[in-house]
Structures are given as C-alpha cells and as structure tokens.
Amino acid sequence: MPDFYSFPETLRIAFSAYSVLCAAVIALVLVLHQYRYNHNNFINLTEGAVILLVLFQTVINAALAAQVQHNFSDGFIAKSGYIILRYAVFIAVTAVSVYLFTEKKFAVPGVAVLSCFLTLPFMETRTGHVFPFLFSAALLILSVGGTWFAVSLVRELRTSVSGLSVKQAMDSLNTAVLFYRKNGYILMQNNKMQELMLQTSGRVFFNGRLYFETVVVPNAESHGAGSYLYSLPDGMRLFTVKEIPLGKKTVMRLTAADVTEQHRINYELQEKYIGLEVQQDKLKDFVANIEEISRSEELLRIKTETHDAQNRKLTILLRYLRYGEYPDRETFAALGESLLSSIQKNSETSENPQLELDTLVNIYEQAGIEIKMTGELPDNVKIATAMANVLREAAANAVIHGYADKIYAWMMYNGGKCVMRVTDNSSRLTIKIKEGGGITGMRRQLEKLGGKLYIETAPRFKLTAVVPMKDM
C-alpha cells in the first residue's frame, strides 16, 4: 500500500470512493440474494456465505484505501494493515467457492477468489510498484462482477417465485392476510393487515395469535367456525382463521375481507324477501304452466294474458336475479330456467327461422330484456335454423346465469363462412361454465353442418358460431 502515497490526491480520493462503491454493490447483491428462492437451502446458504465474505473483503479494501488517504493527510507513511484478516477471508472464500464449484459448476466463486487473491499482503511484497494496479483490478472485478450478478438476480426475481415476489403479490391483494405459527410467530403478512391492526387496536402486533385472540375474537360477532364479523367505522370486515398444513407443521392463516357491500345487500334482501314470500307460490304455479306451453300459439297467448300481472312478476324476479343473490336461490333459479326453457327449441329444422327469431325477441322484450341483432339470417334454412337456435340458447344462458338484460348478436359472412357472434352486458358469471345440455346441443348441431362453436369468458362472455356456406 505505500506505493499509493505517490498517487495524486485527486486519484487517491477517487480510488477511496470507488472502493466504497464496490462495497455498496456487493451489499446490494447480498440483499437481492436473500429474496431469492432456492429449493436447495444449503447451496443457497453457501452462496450467501460467499457473498458475505466478499462483502467483508470489500470493506477491508475500502478501509485500506481510507487508511492511505488518512495517513497522507497526517504526513506519515504506514504499512498496510489487516494482514491476518485478509488471509483468513481469502482462505474462507476459497474453501466455500471450491465447494460451490464442485456442486454447481459455475464460475462466479472463481471471480471472488481471484479478486481476494490480488489484494493479499504477499502479492503486495512480491509485485512492488505493480500492486496498486492489481488492487485496482481487484476492485474493478468486484464492481463489474457484482453489478452483473445483481442484474441477474433482479431478472430472476422478476421472472420466478421469490420471497420478494410473494410479498409484492400479497401487498397487491384487497384482502388483509397474515400467516403465523401456532405459537403466534408471524411468518408473513401484507400491508393491509398491518393497517387493519392499527385501525382495530392502535398498534402493530408481532404475535398473530395474540392479535386474533385479544382483539378480533372479543370484539367481533361469530359467523360460524373460524369466522368473525368485525364492525369498523368504515365498514365490515370478515375475519377467517384456518389451519394450513405445511409439511409436518401447521401454519395458521388469518384473512380479513371487506364485506361491507355484501352485508348491505344481504340486509336489503332480507327485507325484500318478506314481500317475495307472498308471491312465491304464485310464481311456482306460473312456471309449471309455462313449461306446458308450446313455442308458437301458447307463447302468444302468454304474451297477452301475462302482460300486466305475470309480466310484472317476471320483471321483479329477473331484477333480483340480476342484482344480487337471493337467499332462496335454488327455487328462483329453477323458475328462471323453466320460464326460459319454454322459448327454447330442440329441433334442428324450422319452416321460418326468422319468424321464430322475431317471436323470441318479442317474448324477451316483455320481460324487459333487449335482444339486438345486426345483420340477416342466411337464406339456407338449415344454417338459419342453427343460428337461431344458437342465439336462443345464448340468450337464455345470459339471462339465467349472467343476469343480463341486453343481448347483442351480429351476423356476418366472410370467406365463404356464416359467422354469428353473441355477447351481453352481464358483469360477471354466477357459475362456472360447464358444457352440457344446451351448449352441447348447439355444438353438435353446428358440427353436423361442418361448423364450430367457440366460447370466450374474458374480458366478457362471448359466443361465436361458424358454419361454412359451401355446398349448402
């Protein structure tokens, strides 16, 4: 290190600052490595040990550079220090790096050994005036290698599962989440749970079990096993605790979902349910009658007879099905399916598909549901009947399962193919799409004509029927 005293002061200061920057880069690598996920925990710990030892080496290098600057300012030249410590770090880095190289066959540990070797005291005595350049080369290797490794770790963290990605995913949830062991030791929690702790108790707990038993349980209303409804000034929170098996151990998961809107809807539904009970029997009789009515003359008779009283009942029923879950949902779902099944047709041929389609539009219109179709049915009766049946089934599913009140259909002819696209204004699907019955019937009818049926659920439900026009 005495040869550094011959350097200009500006160069010595820059050299000292660069050695500190090197230490900062290695420290960043160590932090990023802690977020890294690795199935082989021992290898992961060994890599961390190498990075920690290299960080220790860069700190020693920074101390040596600072020592030169300090001694020069005081007007004396001193030999380099930390002799034993530098040898000890080199031996430790070499031993751990050799193990890593034999296990993983990669060259990063070799770079760490080389950078430590170039700064050893015996290199200083052997190389003489060349040692400052070797020392600088070691710092350059550490800074470049550390920067490359840090960039690699950042890319890995962005594209793979890691502690950082899991924490970020938890913080993005709208639900407060907390994982803790049975003794209360907190393993992980998101920011919303910490905010909820402050809101409910005025402080952040470091014991999940203590928070649940002393804050949540005494101040919340029990809603079944492991569920508690907590009332806050800004709404309602539903706390749920559940045991999660994790290998041979068990982890407790505590969640707190905002159920303010659901609670309000349930309260309103309970009030309206009292009035709906009176009409429930009448609606069941009405459904029974609808199921026995044919799709032609009987539907026209229904249109006249139910224009006032029964049509109002249908509108009320559809609106409740559209805007919220009704407590007696199975009964009303059966009512809606039976009602709409009366306007469905299983046959695959028809004398006048356009007339039947117009009748379908009029019937839905009486219930406050708009079917808007753009384009005309094809002249081919078989294809026209198939497209009319597709629209009929799609409209029924949209009303029953999607609570829609507007159905849109487009008829297009492109490249020798007849294409119909059907969508609606439903905001969500109330059940998981499961093919069977109507959808399977549509698909089979189209396949007999050489066509196909496509169903999309995102971003909005869309059904597409395609039939070739050749040889028809």
* 30-34, 286-290, 383-387: least confident range: 286-290
More confident residue, 318 or 362: 362
pLDDT at 302 over 50: no
Closest to 467 (Cα-Cα) out of 459, 49, 453:
453
Confidence category of residue 465, pLDDT binned at 50, 70, 90: very high
More confident residue, 22 or 171: 22
* 6-10, 379-383, 409-413: least confident range: 6-10
What tens digit of pLDDT does each residue of 123-166 get? 877 877 787 788 888 888 888 888 888 888 777 766 655 555 66
Q: What is the rounded average pLDDT for all residues in the chain? A: 76
What tens digit of pLDDT does each residue of 285-301 get? 655 555 555 444 444 44
Confidence category of residue 345, pLDDT binned at 50, 70, 90: very low
Confidence category of residue 44, pLDDT binned at 50, 70, 90: confident
Report the distance separating Cα 116 and Cα 101, nearest Å.
Answer: 17
At residue 29, the pLDDT reads 85
Report the distance separating Cα 192 and Cα 198, nearest Å.
Answer: 10
More confident residue, 325 or 42: 42
Average pLDDT over residues 47-75: 77
Confidence category of residue 90, pLDDT binned at 50, 70, 90: confident
More confident residue, 201 or 334: 201
- 121 to 59, 83, 96, 114, 117: CA distances (angstroms): 16, 6, 21, 14, 9
**Residue 168 burial (CB count, 10 A):** 12
Cα angle 110-112-116, degrees, rounded to a multiple of 5: 115
Share of the chain above pLDDT 90, in %: 14
Confidence category of residue 51, pLDDT binned at 50, 70, 90: confident
Report the distance separating Cα 114 and Cα 112, nearest Å.
Answer: 5
At residue 7, the pLDDT reads 65
pLDDT at 418 over 90: yes
Average pLDDT over residues 210-233: 89
Report the distance separating Cα 274 and Cα 269, nearest Å.
Answer: 9
**Residue 288 burial (CB count, 10 A):** 11
At residue 336, the pLDDT reads 52
